[in-house]
Amino acid sequence: MKRPASRLTVTALLTALLIAGSFVRIPLPGGVPLTLQVFFALLGPALLGIRGALPALLYIFLGLAGLPVFSGGGGPGYFVSPTFGYLAGFVLGGALAGVLYPRAKTTAGGFLALSAGLGVIYLTGGAWLYWVKNIYMEGDFPMILVIKYGVAPFLPLDLLKAAGVLWTARRIRPALGQLNR
């Protein structure tokens, strides 16, 4: 009974940190703000394995239900926001990182697992940004602008965040004990 309660507690804490991370934001050209969310979206899988994608899923559910937890507010209309794909990427990338990270035997392997999750976040977010800007909004936003505004400004800092997650998880996981079993 202790383990499920512990997992629930860590999941709730990570969800709260994702919410808090959305409010630490720096607006950038192109409509995608710089936030701390990627750190917490990757920390979940590093601590909980595949279950680490659940905080992001809960975060999306709360936001689409109308709570103003997203960096731009909340509600079902956020589904067609240019940045919603990055939020969906937190779940998909978190799931991938959650499968790969526990299997990593080295620090480099752990970093590659988190980077693979980050790649899925960018792929999902970039594809969604392209769709919203070009199809939904009927604009002219070529793929080069998706990369320029939706990937390039974030990649160096997000790789540093992944390294920070690796460092943080290596210190927190022992305290969590048998949580992942």
Domain ranges of the chain: 2-174
- Give the pLDDT of residue 51: 95
Q: Which tokens is 28 given? A: 């950038």
State residue 1's pLDDT score.
31
Average pLDDT for residues 155-165, to the nearest whole number?
Answer: 96
Tokens 């936003």 correspond to what residue? Answer: 141
User: What letter represents residue 58's amino acid?
Assistant: L
Binned at pLDDT 50, 70 and 90, residue 5 comes out as confident
- 91-116 as b/e: b if 16+ CB within 10 A: bbbbbbbbbbbbebeeeeebbbbbbb
Q: Say whether pLDDT at 54 is over 90.
A: yes
In the three-class reduction of DSSP (H, G, I as helix; E, B as strand; rest coil), residue 141 is classed as coil
Mean pLDDT of the chain: 91
Q: What is the CATH number of domain 2-174?
A: 1.10.1760.20
Report the pLDDT value the prediction gives residue 173, as an integer from 0 to 100. Answer: 86
- HSE of 155, CA atoms in CB hemisphere, 13 A: 13
User: For residue range 73-122, what is the model confidence (pLDDT) as tens digits?
Assistant: 899 999 999 889 999 999 999 999 999 999 999 999 999 999 999 999 99
The torsion angle over the Cα atoms of residues 13, 177, 173 and 59, rounded to 10 degrees, is -20
Q: For 123-159, what is each residue's pLDDT tens digit?
A: 999 999 999 999 888 888 899 999 999 899 999 999 9
Amino acid letter for position 156: P
C-alpha torsion sign, points 72, 76, 80, 85: positive
Q: What is the dihedral of CA 129, 133, 135, 141, to 10 degrees?
A: -100
Query: Rounded to whole angstroms, how far apart are CA atoms 55 and 35?
Result: 16
Is the pLDDT at 179 greater than 60? The verdict is no
